[in-house]
Amino acid sequence: MDGTDDAASFPLPSEIADAPGAEDWRSMYPYFTRFQPEDDQRFWFYNSMHFPEPIPAFDMITAEVPYSAIGANTARVFVFPTTLGIEHRIVNGRVYITAIPVLYEAEIGRRAAIFGERASYYYENWDELYEGWKVRMRALIDEIESVTVPSLPEAELDRERLTWMYRQMLRIREFEVRVTPISETAEIGMAVGAALAGYRPVVELYMAEFMLVAMDQVVNEAPRFRYMSGGRVTVPLVLKAGYGFTAGWAGQHTGSIYGMFTGVPGLKVALPATPADAKGLMATAIRDDNPVCFFHHYLLTLEEGEVPEGSTWSRSARPTCGGPGTT
């Protein structure tokens, strides 16, 4: 896609026809991923290595993260002389990429000097760095293998009768990795099953609103097993998520929705207000045999404060400031 009239050149973005049956594909993808007229003047690569098939619109984050975030960060850290990062576009669901150019010759020269200094360190010390990485990874694997995990009853290990997702859970113990779509319903559902099997999973949801797509698991499943079994079954599960205002995020990600969970029988809710609270409440939540929603305000994660040794937390009320509203 180089903008020439040579018949042997690649087609321009504006010349690519819509795939039959997918004429309305543009309405499915974010506006900033659509080709613009000026894009005809740039060379675009079809990323068939990472995305050999059309990418579903709901999986677009798998393209946005490496290009918009990791690509820009890598270019900034190493100061690549001619590029500031990676841009991506979508045509018929297929991902195309190109470099974000550095426009001024003087800037390219300045960046080249910095790049040579930073990149040369890795070239000159590659063997030592690689051996050090292998030592750290070996130590990490040894640590994971030393963790004692509960054994499931033999009768439940009939793999032919297990669901696909449960079989993938069992594969975790064999250090096999599976790439899964972003699905809070699946993540929390798997965690409920793991808790029932004797584990103590902690699910990092990042945003509290992500729980809303898995309300059956959060409200109707996890909190009820202990009651329905007469206390014979426990569900030690922690769902960790942030809430509240933070600049630049959409309205769907800045709500304070913890109140809707406080009235669910069997479900505990923790809201730390200080660093000490955060440490103590998380330790208490992990040890609890009931499901716990651990909500932390985004802006409070910037707060600093004293954190006591150990991981105990007092269940008694502890006023932190005075005033007529304190009871």
Low-confidence ranges of the chain (pLDDT < 70): 1-8, 140, 143-144, 147, 149-182, 246-251, 253, 310-322, 325-327
Which domains are present in the chain? 13-103 (no CATH), 180-302 (3.40.50.970)
- Number of other residues whose CB lies within 10 A of the CB of residue 316: 4
Q: How far is CA 315 from CA 84, 265, 312, in A?
A: 52, 19, 10
Q: Which helix (H) or strand (E) holds 72?
A: helix 72-78
What pLDDT does 57 receive? 81
Range list of H helices, 172-325: 184-196, 215, 225-228, 275-287
pTM above 0.85, yes or no: no
What pLDDT does 7 receive? 54
What pLDDT does 287 receive? 87
Residue with tokens 């079989």: 167
The first and second tokens of residue 15, run together, are: 């010349």
What pLDDT does 163 receive? 42
Strands (DSSP E) contained in the chain are 45-46, 83-91, 94-101, 202-207, 238-243, 268-270, 292-297
What pLDDT does 267 receive? 93
Q: Please tell me the distance from the alpha carbon of residue 323 to that of residue 319, in angstroms, as a whole number.
A: 10
SS3 201: coil
What pLDDT does 247 receive? 57
